[in-house]
Amino acid sequence: MGLGESDANARWIGVRRHQAVLVVLGVGILSEWLLSPSAPTSELIVGLALTICAATTYDGLTAGEQLVVALRYCSRSHWSTVSALEFGDEIALWANGDVAFRAYELVHRGRLDLSGRDVINAEALKSLADAAGASRTGQHFSEHVHRQDDDAGTLLALPLGVAAPDGWMKGTNLARRVIGLDDDATSLRLLERFTYLRAPTQLLRVYRVRDFASVPSTRGLLDQVLKSSTPVDLALHVDVVSGSRAQRLSARAVHRVGSDDATSRAVGFRRTARSVRNYERLAQREALVASGRALVRVAVYLLVRASSLDELHRRGDALWRQAHDAGLRLERGRGCQAQWHRAQLPGGLGW
């Protein structure tokens, strides 16, 4: 069936839950103001404000969500610190929380990797996810591609006690570069701006992939980004849901979409081809989970580095255009740069 829209923002009859609540409240207050001859003007202002907050703007966010992001950005400290210590092949990372992981670097074989080795590596990681899905707690691992000049390295961050597949060797040097630490440094001090981060020697901007659904089936999901002439670091985080919870979530998603379709038809709307395909995709996923396959939640972050603000803008715009042409939909993360930078670090959901 291929990919569909993300399940991160569940929709009810085409709108997100908080949008429905805001619209209902806004329309109710406006109706009260219109029908009541002595209603104060404040009701009109509140009703209009709630209705406007439900409107969708850039990046799929509503105006109300943008307002909350801006208020949080203005009310918090803009300085943050990322610290890391090595204990053999283990790394302990601190950034508003702590997490420990083991770092493995992919053994590149030059052009021999083009002869099917990438498929073998992907199948090994898929088997790793299926094994983690059978556990009671699930697991989280991440894969990072770090580009520097003409060199590139691939890092795999695994929880403690989990062995890496064949083709990966232990090593912490690449992990330090992915985090952004110099050779002898143990911490990184960052200053958050609304659209980027300022590190001691460079500027950073983090993008998040919102949707893969528009990528043609003949292309790899991230091929165009990895082949970009713009130096981009890629972080792919995979959160494996435990077996029993995965079955509940997949069954609930099928029930939600089926109920929405039934409600839409009851009020006179026809069932669209898009809704039919979405229902079939979720039903297929439920069957796969029931047969023992892992249910995973995926987050993909793209990190752009530059030495000046002008260069950062140029690289960011080039990445945005190239990702859009490849079928990827990105989010800019305005007001969330520090949070997204922590989220894309190796180790995963430790914050």
Regarding whether 229 and 249 lie in a shared domain, the answer is no
The residue among 26, 59, 74 that closes a domain is 74
Regarding whether 28 and 159 lie in a shared domain, the answer is no
Give a yes or no: residue 263 inside a domain.
yes
Model confidence at 302, pLDDT cuts 50, 70, 90, reads very high
Least confident of 212-226, 260-274, 291-305: 260-274
In this prediction, residue 13 carries a pLDDT of: 57
65-93 confidence digits (pLDDT tens)? 899 999 999 999 999 999 999 888 889 99
In this prediction, residue 71 carries a pLDDT of: 94
In this prediction, residue 134 carries a pLDDT of: 80
Regarding whether 82 and 70 lie in a shared domain, the answer is no
**Residue 205 pLDDT > 70:** yes
Give a yes or no: residue 7 inside a domain.
no
**Residue 149 pLDDT > 80:** no
Cβ 328 vs Cβ 298: under 8 Å: no
Give a yes or no: residue 122 inside a domain.
yes
Domains of the chain: total: 3
- Structural domain boundaries enclosing 265: 244-283
Give a yes or no: residue 279 inside a domain.
yes
**Residue 316 pLDDT > 90:** yes
Give a yes or no: residue 20 inside a domain.
yes
Phi (first) and psi of residue 314, to 5 degrees: -65, -45
**Residue 321 pLDDT > 60:** yes
- Return the percentage of the chain with pLDDT > 90, whole number: 32
Regarding whether 168 and 34 lie in a shared domain, the answer is no
**Residue 10 pLDDT > 70:** no
Give a yes or no: residue 6 inside a domain.
no
Give a yes or no: residue 351 inside a domain.
no
Regarding whether 199 and 64 lie in a shared domain, the answer is no
Which domain CATH number covers 184?
3.40.462
The residue among 74, 98, 119 that closes a domain is 74
In this prediction, residue 79 carries a pLDDT of: 93
Regarding whether 212 and 190 lie in a shared domain, the answer is yes
Model confidence at 312, pLDDT cuts 50, 70, 90, reads very high
Regarding whether 254 and 151 lie in a shared domain, the answer is no
Q: Full-prediction pTM beyond 0.95?
A: no
Mean pLDDT is highest, among 105-119, 157-171, 193-207, for 193-207
In this prediction, residue 2 carries a pLDDT of: 63
Least confident of 50-54, 64-68, 308-312, 324-328: 324-328
Regarding whether 99 and 61 lie in a shared domain, the answer is no
Of 264 and 11, the structure prediction assigns the larger pLDDT to 264
The residue among 28, 49, 74 that closes a domain is 74
Regarding whether 126 and 56 lie in a shared domain, the answer is no
Regarding whether 159 and 106 lie in a shared domain, the answer is yes
**Residue 346 pLDDT > 80:** yes
Regarding whether 86 and 54 lie in a shared domain, the answer is no
Regarding whether 119 and 42 lie in a shared domain, the answer is no
Give a yes or no: residue 289 inside a domain.
no
Least confident of 93-97, 116-120, 242-246, 315-319: 116-120
**Residue 280 pLDDT > 80:** yes
**Residue 190 pLDDT > 60:** yes
- Residues 142-171: what's their mean pLDDT? 87
In this prediction, residue 192 carries a pLDDT of: 95
- Residues 51-69: what's their mean pLDDT? 86
